[in-house]
Amino acid sequence: MPGVFILFQTGPIFIYGNNMVDKVNHSPNTNFMAGSPTGPDEFGQRVQAVRRFNRFYTRQIGVLQEGLLNSSLSLSEVRVLYELAHREKPTAAELCKELELDAGYLSRILRAFHKRGWILRESSQHDARRSLLSLSRRGRAAFEPLNARSNQEVAKMLGALAPSQQSNIVEAMQTIESTLLPGTPEKAPYLLRTHQPGDIGWVVYRHGVLYSQEYGYDERFEALVARIVAEFVERYTVQPAARAMLDCRERWRARRVGFSSQQVQANRQAAASSGRAFSARARHWQTSRR
């Protein structure tokens, strides 16, 4: 899902995928708090949920079979073949680091490949003790059908789903990868636009989820957000500043870069102002409930 910059009269909210980003800190000391922080029982349930998903997905993609992709090779062997096909003459040490394989196990796999005539070895010009590895013609001939079969199986799985479901799966996978492997480069484009039908409800929903997770706020906070955005929709008009920001969307798409330093600072100030106004409404609501 592309990043979306939704323009509100009170200030911009930047939404990327399922993440709403702002720089405004809100005090957790309010009456929105509900329940205690995550306890050991809830954490244990999450552990079991991850294990359950692992069991499901390993079965789903067929890695429990004796031979992967209807071949005589294991998952590890096919993965080593893949790395050799897509890397420029790696060393065994580099493969060990990338795949986190035991050195002895990888050595046995490479010896088996060498006996089949699938790999070539050549000494490094910088260190004669290191061997550079690559696939031979026979090795590539063994790899290409496996690669094509893997593509076909994934295409079959995704092809049974609606496009929106396909996108949901890919986004969920990207979320898992970026969460477990910080620093993973983002590949999704950015899109600058005003809000559209469905966005406002999503904003309320994400506020309810995020503030419950981060601060323990209950459904009363979500109700407050719903009232605030309802007022926004009823009074909404595109201001000149918003129009100017929308005018630059084609430049954003072409260059995939952010605003100028002056625009960034203006956006930060607008977001801070929006956050202060929002916090004031929340404090007023909290006081009125006492």
Separation between Cα atoms, residue 211 and residue 221, nearest integer Å: 8
Q: Which residues contact 269 (CB under 8 A, 6 or more apart)?
A: none
Residue 77 has pLDDT above 80, yes or no: yes
The pLDDT value recorded for residue 235 is 81
Q: What is the CATH number of domain 68-159?
A: 1.10.10.10
The pLDDT value recorded for residue 80 is 96
Query: What letter does residue 239 receive in the DSSP assignment?
Result: -
For the chain, the first-to-last Cα distance in angstroms comes to 42
Query: What letter does residue 38 receive in the DSSP assignment?
Result: P
- If one counts every other C-beta atom within 10 angstroms of the C-beta of residue 117, the result is 12
Domains of the chain: which residue ranges?
A: 3-35+192-289, 68-159
The pLDDT value recorded for residue 229 is 86
**Selection from 245, 188, 193 nearest residue 2 by Cα:** 188
**Lowest-confidence region among 20-34, 87-101, 232-246, 271-285:** 20-34
Task: Report the share of the chain in percent with pLDDT over 70.
Answer: 64
pTM, 2 dp = 0.51
Residue 55 has pLDDT above 70, yes or no: yes
Residue 3 has pLDDT above 80, yes or no: no
The pLDDT value recorded for residue 130 is 84
Residue 154 has pLDDT above 90, yes or no: yes
Question: What tens digit of pLDDT does each residue of 33-50 get?
Answer: 544 455 678 899 999 999
The pLDDT value recorded for residue 265 is 55
94 or 4: which carries more pLDDT confidence?
94
- Find out whether 217 and 286 touch, Cβ atoms under 8 Å: no
